[in-house]
Structure 1
Amino acid sequence: MITTPFPSWPDTAPDLIAVAAGRAAAETVIVGGRVVNVHTREILDGWQVAIVRGRFAYVGPDASHCIGPGTQVIDAGGRYLIPGLCDGHMHIESGQLTPAEFAAAVIPHGTTTMFVDPHEIANVLGLRGVRLMHDEALMQPVSIYVQMPSCAPSAPGLETTGFEITSEDVTEAMTWPGIIGLGEMMNFPGVIHADPKMLAEIAATQAAGKTVGGHYAAPDLGPAFHAYVAGGPADDHEGTREEDAVARMRQGMRAMLRLGSAWYDVKTQITAVTERGLDSRNMILCTDDCHSGTLVHDGHMNRVLRHAIECGADPLVALQMATINTASHFGLERELGSIAPGRRADLILTSDLRRLPVEQVFARGVQVAENGRLLVDCPHLDWPEDVRQTVHLGKVLGAEDFTIAAPEGANEVEARVIGVVENQAPTQALTRTMPVTNGEVVSDTARDIAQIALVERHRGTGGVVNALVSGFGYQGRMALASTVAHDSHHMIVVGTCREQMALAANRLGELGGGVTLWRDGAELAHVALPIAGLMSDSPAAEVAAAAEALGQAMQDCGCALNNAFMQHSLLALVVIPELRISDLGLVDVTSFERVDLFV
């Protein structure tokens, strides 16, 4: 069930005008503060704010004419009033939480607007999964706008998903009330080569007057990049260098700078503004992927904002990147992103513009959090039972399913190895000489080479693709399995022992999805994610505690990477270079071709 939609400006305009003119009383007036105006980039000391029906009616030096007998007057005590924070690009499923629990986790951090791309669940459940996410998003006390996923599969011909998204699906979704645009166009080779399906999706979005999200995950800024921009994407969050941000902004795109749990791409790009002095209007801050532990312990967009300031950004400029710039990009400048008449009354009271303690949070005129404590309910959807039963292995897996057979008669082989890069989405395409024992290639912990397997889990084919990975540092007889496997979300198993890999994979079949770590025949930790094998509807603190135990178990097995699980979950992401694994084999993402394990 969807709650009553938030009243539109036309519905509330008579009341807003009456309050601003002094003919009617406001519901709430905030006095004694300093309003941060992101339109003019100034601090207006002593300005007051009047709110009615969830919107700002008056913002000015004296709101006394808006106060009546029933008006709640709040004294800000000299604190700053800043707009509620907007996340310009993110995936709720990466928090391993449902929209309701994600909202409950981030509201106390001051996030009042999110632009979400549920392409993870789209890969598992198709358009139906997107609709479920959309419907729960509309039920929340903050604004969650959904981008219709564009690419399932993300790389046609290189992976098999549970469902495919079609241009007809995109056209239908554009009629839904909470859809704000098209999700990141990950199939950038398809756009560059004018693939009719990709162009049809972009055309349907533009015909609806909505925004097309971008994803150009390549360092080449030559003709291929220019062809991609000409194809219609309006923003991009895949930049990692200053020249990436500059190139995107020069072409009329918004450069989205992300700080997620494992992506640290703000520091290297924000210098385009802080050092080169370029116009900051086309720069937006976002998270992309945030783990539940990050949300509970470190924050959300307030964390990104603080980081941008620490990287040298003027606090008011950084604040624009997390509010008005984002709202303007999605055509919502008159609706949110600033403390100005007519906008949704989303604001934060904070005593320090650099440290950004989030002391009080208001969304749609209602106080929703105070000093880290959530004050409102975040309603849950009644998720269908079959959505909790999406792990189909087809059989009980054994150690033999994880055998890497060497070419007949070989004593050693030259093998391709996926190289994990800490804190970055790209991997390295490595080659290593591997010894052959009894006709098999096995992991080599002395050289930090483990086995990786992609287990098909959507159709129960029993298919397993085996390869090698380096960078986790695992030791002993262990295995980590996960049904969070961007973007196709089959099952990724990384281990040093075939028997443990089989145990871990079968355990996820029992759990209905999630993450599990095994060592020497025993489960050390697990995170149950029964909804589509991606999310839990338990509170964020509970999921974060389970994830923290998993992280500790990974460290106990020798892994010292920052947010190592995020790296694990991206090993099947066949649209980010250089080397990935899919249900169809190893994929060279620099050439978008399948390659053999052995060179």
Structure 2
Amino acid sequence: MERHPLKSWAEAAPRLVAVAAGREPADLVVRGGIWVNVHSRELLPDHDIAIAEGRIAYVGSDAGHCIGPETQVIEAAGRYMLPGLCDAHMHVESGMLTPAEFARAVIPHGTTSMFADPHEIANVLGLEGVRLMHDEALLQPVNIFTQMPSCAPSAPGLETTGFEITPEDVAEAMSWPGIVGLGEMMNFPGVVAGDPKMLAEIAATQVAGKTVGGHYASPDLGPAFHAYAAGGPADDHEGTREEDAVARVRQGMRAMLRLGSAWYDVKAQITAVTEKGLDPRNFILCTDDCHSGTLVNEGHMNRVLRHAIDCGCDPLVALQMATVNTAAHFGLERELGSIAPGRRADIILSSDLRALPIETVIARGLVVAENGKIMVDCPHLDWPAHARATVHLGKTLAASDFEIPAPAGANHVRARVIGVVENQAPTKALSADLPVIDGLVEAEGEVCQIALVERHRGTGMVVNAFVQGFGYEGPMAMASTVAHDSHHMIVVGTDRENMALAANRLGAVGGGVALFAGGEEKALVELPIAGLMSDDLAEKVAAKVEALGHAMQEAGCRLNNAYMQHSLLALVVIPELRISDKGLVDVTRFEVTELIEKVLE
């Protein structure tokens, strides 16, 4: 069936009315299914859906009057007819894929709408990078709405990015056709302190009548939280406890519960609905960060939906959290998120409401996937050459660049250590007593070295510190130019020679992830676009990510999706301890702190 250019509801209304009345034939009719109505929370068997102009014209017990000689008919055969799934908060770049390849990966899983914040590329390429992501998103056969990034840098004064986003950039972007709101306001201390720049970005978004995304990554639910809510963010996805979700919805925010590749925050918070009985209309499901291996092998929003159901949520309530609640939050309830007249014809056919096999996916009235196989093209942009040349090391790195000199005369020191927490974004601020050998502080036991290598301006600067929790053994190192949010290069290793090898390898290939062990390359995922993404096929990228995971395990790592933990070690807006180009950052106090706590006897 030839795709119709998507018209607005107002433009399509004459045809929709004519089809519903039986005066004109529909383009497509889905016949004989169970209508999953997310407005009334009902299952209505033996219903039909008539579609015209890529929108729903009629939903009722018999659409026979809408069928003409050229109408395509799909027999639902008693299957469930669900709205296409919506991801309320996510970063395309975390999939290591461009918007086109991300769409190709998730369409077979039933995702038909995404609300993407491209703040990763904003840190590397600025407003131009956002525009490139926005433009490729608009080419796709599903709905990818862009949230204009708000915080590059995420914490001014605590990191240096490739570019900075200004209130003027935000105001300009609000006029772009695919911009749906402001991306997560990560600089929550700035909002709490009344920072004029942050408040100006929020104001520009509100003047445009669009949604302000939130990010309050603190367990403090006292006056600071209330000040943040007063600043205007309409949602938050950083909750990790039931009380976080409760506090947000009580203040008129939407609680976004995330299940990404490594963030498992649904189970602890969904009890606010399943046990405390809070109104589920203000709860939304999202992924935040999913890498390509998860997308290809495990799923996307269908994975989140199944997980929420497994956590005790009623399937229809969970489905509302992944469809109509999301649409309403962004002011698009009359446009998508349900199977009802006028909405975009984004529909899933599934034979089981709990196991949720995604058997047929329809987007804008066109069958886009069948039984896990995509049926449409996802057009690519021609990315400019300078977007593929963003890793500037300034020199060839040596093992000596990763040395940590000890205070004069010290034999042992107590050092601050970043503690990785499995399946959560926050870290722990730990301490470790470490030996000094030949004037250098050496990692030992479960403690590894971590380094941030500046890669935007070619300064050759390396900041060194310590990290614990990966469990690496033997001489090895892993380097990544995906390092939220400033996206310098993060190197974690047990051996300085391997750290230099991994870092230089990424300099040579233009970015990505590399793991070396015993002086040999064990895994490489090339991410040439901004050092963040590949425009290769999602399946090929996922295979390389899988090989990386195996290499990490062979090096002793047993964490779930440890790559995601690695990539967030520079995120200086999530407590407790992070690394940046400014040094080691105490994110409970939002200040640079010393690596060495004290010299021991």
TM-score, normalised via structure 2 length: 0.98
**Aligned equivalent of 1:530, options 496, 505, 528:** 528
- The answer as to whether partners of 1:49 and 1:60 remain within 8 angstroms in 2 is yes
Identify the residue that residue 41 of structure 1 maps to in structure 2.
41
Moved more, 531-540 or 59-68: 59-68
Q: How many residues align?
A: 595
- The answer as to whether partners of 1:454 and 1:464 remain within 8 angstroms in 2 is yes
Identify the residue that residue 492 of structure 2 maps to in structure 1.
494
SS in 2 for 1:267: helix
Query: Which segments of 5 or more consecutive residues in structure 2 lack a partner in the other structure?
Result: none
Distance in structure 2 (CA, Å) of the matches to 1:380 and 1:140: 9
Identify the residue that residue 586 of structure 1 maps to in structure 2.
584
Moved more, 5-14 or 486-495: 5-14
**Aligned equivalent of 2:564, options 563, 566, 582:** 566
Identify the residue that residue 594 of structure 2 maps to in structure 1.
596
CA deviation profile, 1:200-236 (whole Å, cap 9, x unmatched): 0000000000000000000010000000000000000
AA aligned to 1:287 is: T
Identify the residue that residue 81 of structure 2 maps to in structure 1.
81
Shift of 1:495: 0.6
Identify the residue that residue 224 of structure 2 maps to in structure 1.
224
Distance in structure 2 (CA, Å) of the matches to 1:431 and 1:96: 33
Q: Does 1:466 align with 2:464?
A: yes
Shift of 1:68: 1.1
Distance in structure 1 (CA, Å) of the matches to 2:99 and 2:304: 20
Task: Please list, as runs of the form range in 1=range in 2, the aligned pairs for 1:114-153 lying within 5 A after superposition.
Answer: 114-153=114-153
**Aligned equivalent of 1:507, options 505, 511, 514:** 505
Moved more, 448-457 or 8-17: 8-17
AA aligned to 1:543 is: V
Distance in structure 1 (CA, Å) of the matches to 2:7 and 2:237: 32
Distance in structure 1 (CA, Å) of the matches to 2:264 and 2:368: 29
Shift of 1:179: 0.2
Shift of 1:70: 1.1
Identify the residue that residue 203 of structure 1 maps to in structure 2.
203
Distance in structure 2 (CA, Å) of the matches to 1:139 and 1:233: 29
SS in 1 for 2:348: strand
- The answer as to whether partners of 2:4 and 2:53 remain within 8 angstroms in 1 is no
Shift of 1:253: 0.3
Distance in structure 2 (CA, Å) of the matches to 1:578 and 1:379: 41
Shift of 1:61: 1.4
- The answer as to whether partners of 1:443 and 1:497 remain within 8 angstroms in 2 is no
Shift of 1:4: 9.5
Q: Does 1:168 align with 2:171?
A: no
Shift of 1:240: 0.5
- The answer as to whether partners of 2:185 and 2:213 remain within 8 angstroms in 1 is yes
SS in 2 for 1:526: strand
AA aligned to 1:164 is: E
Distance in structure 1 (CA, Å) of the matches to 2:23 and 2:447: 73
Shift of 1:32: 1.1
SS in 1 for 2:268: coil
Shift of 1:69: 1.3
Identify the residue that residue 455 of structure 1 maps to in structure 2.
453
SS in 2 for 1:13: helix
Shift of 1:389: 0.4
SS in 1 for 2:269: coil
SS in 1 for 2:104: helix
Identify the residue that residue 281 of structure 1 maps to in structure 2.
281
- The answer as to whether partners of 1:5 and 1:138 remain within 8 angstroms in 2 is no
SS in 2 for 1:436: strand
Distance in structure 2 (CA, Å) of the matches to 1:587 and 1:72: 59
Identify the residue that residue 371 of structure 2 maps to in structure 1.
371
- The answer as to whether partners of 1:512 and 1:529 remain within 8 angstroms in 2 is yes
**Aligned equivalent of 2:573, options 572, 575, 592:** 575
Distance in structure 1 (CA, Å) of the matches to 2:15 and 2:6: 15
Distance in structure 1 (CA, Å) of the matches to 2:75 and 2:458: 60
- The answer as to whether partners of 2:419 and 2:427 remain within 8 angstroms in 1 is yes
Distance in structure 1 (CA, Å) of the matches to 2:553 and 2:535: 27
Identify the residue that residue 295 of structure 1 maps to in structure 2.
295
Moved more, 103-112 or 17-26: 17-26
AA aligned to 1:440 is: L
SS in 1 for 2:267: coil
AA aligned to 2:473 is: Q
Shift of 1:132: 0.2
SS in 2 for 1:543: helix
Identify the residue that residue 540 of structure 1 maps to in structure 2.
538
- The answer as to whether partners of 2:139 and 2:379 remain within 8 angstroms in 1 is yes
Identify the residue that residue 22 of structure 1 maps to in structure 2.
22
Identify the residue that residue 518 of structure 2 maps to in structure 1.
520
Task: Please list, as runs of the form range in 1=range in 2, the aligned pairs for 1:373-452 lying within 5 A after superposition.
Answer: 373-444=373-444, 447-452=445-450
TM-score, normalised via structure 1 length: 0.99
Moved more, 18-27 or 280-289: 18-27
AA aligned to 1:488 is: S
Shift of 1:11: 1.4
Shift of 1:417: 0.3
Distance in structure 2 (CA, Å) of the matches to 1:485 and 1:111: 26
AA aligned to 1:272 is: A
Identify the residue that residue 57 of structure 2 maps to in structure 1.
57
Distance in structure 1 (CA, Å) of the matches to 2:4 and 2:164: 31
Identify the residue that residue 111 of structure 2 maps to in structure 1.
111
Distance in structure 2 (CA, Å) of the matches to 1:72 and 1:230: 51
Distance 1:498 1:5, change over 3 A: farther
Shift of 1:44: 1.1
CA deviation profile, 1:427-460 (whole Å, cap 9, x unmatched): 000011111111101221xx20000000000000
Query: Which segments of 5 or more consecutive residues in structure 1 lack a partner in the other structure?
Result: none
Q: Percent identity?
A: 76
Identify the residue that residue 477 of structure 1 maps to in structure 2.
475
- The answer as to whether partners of 1:273 and 1:279 remain within 8 angstroms in 2 is yes
AA aligned to 2:545 is: A
Shift of 1:6: 2.6
Distance in structure 2 (CA, Å) of the matches to 1:40 and 1:315: 14
CA deviation profile, 1:128-168 (whole Å, cap 9, x unmatched): 00000000000000000000000000000000000000000
- The answer as to whether partners of 2:260 and 2:289 remain within 8 angstroms in 1 is yes
SS in 1 for 2:303: helix
Distance in structure 1 (CA, Å) of the matches to 2:29 and 2:516: 56
Shift of 1:5: 6.2
AA aligned to 2:364 is: R
CA deviation profile, 1:100-150 (whole Å, cap 9, x unmatched): 000000000000000000000000000000000000000000000000000
AA aligned to 1:489 is: H
Q: Does 1:193 align with 2:193?
A: yes
